[in-house]
């Protein structure tokens, strides 16, 4: 339900649009999740997986979803607070760009899961497993936002920059009145893509026992991601489908109520 289109006058400028009609909203919030649940159920039935009693109530599933949301939210806020200043600093001069942008590109290209086991072991040693999941989500979200903010900074028209200098905007005033509004559209787009990847990664970020020597499922973090992993491993089709529907419904509602609103507001700050 998300469409992406390139603005012709600049190949880097990406715009996202969300469904606007009642029929599209109905599909996203009801028909879409039901179709997804049906497909998953048919696949599970085709393999004739044994069914086990569902040990989780709807309240527990909602609590698990809330726990996952908090982890992603903490990682996202931390990523924005670091990514925006980092991107602004790295593009401040041509020399800094030549030094830092290649480094960012390399760091952003390193597979997050390649060193996730080391991260888990470090945090588990200090008895802080929550930190392992949040930290790995933070790294995954961080570079998505850094690159989109850098792209937003690069498309600020030169005449706007010159006008700001003529009017004496410097320091924090320059950043607050020009830079932050200018990068807002790209920050919103980057946030949507980054948080979407966070939801993809949370499935493995919460299943910590996979990365702990001789680990067991009791060491997993309580969240919708670990529930999906454990339900799939234990052939609990009902739990798996219920957790999947709740996750998809929340993402759909959040997209409509938050991201769509922010995208609409961000159009005021675009350079056309």
Quick: pLDDT tens for 145-177: 999 999 999 888 888 888 888 887 778 888 888
Q: What is the pLDDT of residues 182-227, one digit of tens each?
A: 999 999 999 999 999 999 899 888 988 888 877 788 888 999 999 9
CATH number of this structure's domain 3-46+60-269: 1.10.3720.10
Give the largest Cα separation in the chain, rounded: 72
For 44-102, how does the pLDDT look when each residue is reduced to its tens digit (9 = 90+)? 555 444 444 445 777 888 899 999 999 999 999 999 999 999 999 999 889 999 999 99
Q: Is residue 166 a contact partner of residue 191, using CB atoms and an 8 Å limit?
A: no
Q: Can you list the positions of beta strands (E) in 29-95?
A: none
Annotated domain spans of the chain = 3-46+60-269
């Amino acid at each position: 339900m998300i469409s992406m289109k390139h603005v012709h006058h600049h190949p880097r400028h990406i715009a996202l649009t969300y469904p606007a009609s009642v029929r599209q909203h109905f599909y996203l919030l009801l028909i879409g999740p039901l179709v997804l649940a049906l497909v998953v159920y048919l696949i599970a039935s085709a393999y004739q997986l044994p069914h086990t009693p569902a040990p989780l109530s709807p309240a527990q599933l909602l609590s698990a979803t809330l726990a996952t949301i908090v982890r992603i939210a903490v990682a996202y806020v931390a990523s924005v607070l670091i990514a925006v200043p980092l991107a602004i600093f790295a593009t401040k001069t041509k020399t800094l760009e030549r030094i830092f942008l290649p480094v960012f590109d390399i760091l952003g290209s390193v597979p997050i899961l390649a060193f996730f086991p080391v991260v888990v072991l470090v945090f588990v040693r200090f008895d802080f497993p929550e930190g392992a999941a949040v930290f790995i989500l933070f790294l995954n979200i961080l570079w998505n936002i850094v690159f989109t903010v850098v792209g937003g900074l690069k498309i600020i028209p030169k005449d706007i920059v010159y006008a700001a200098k003529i009017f004496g905007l410097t320091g924090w005033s320059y950043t607050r009145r020009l830079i932050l509004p200018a990068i807002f559209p790209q920050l919103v787009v980057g946030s949507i893509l980054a948080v979407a990847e966070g939801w993809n990664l949370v499935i493995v970020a919460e299943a910590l026992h996979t990365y702990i020597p001789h680990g067991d499922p009791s060491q997993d973090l309580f969240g919708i991601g670990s529930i999906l992993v454990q339900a799939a491993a234990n052939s609990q089709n009902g739990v798996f489908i219920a957790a999947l529907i709740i996750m998809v419904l929340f993402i759909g509602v959040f997209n409509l109520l938050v991201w769509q609103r922010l995208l609409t507001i961000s159009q005021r700050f675009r350079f056309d």
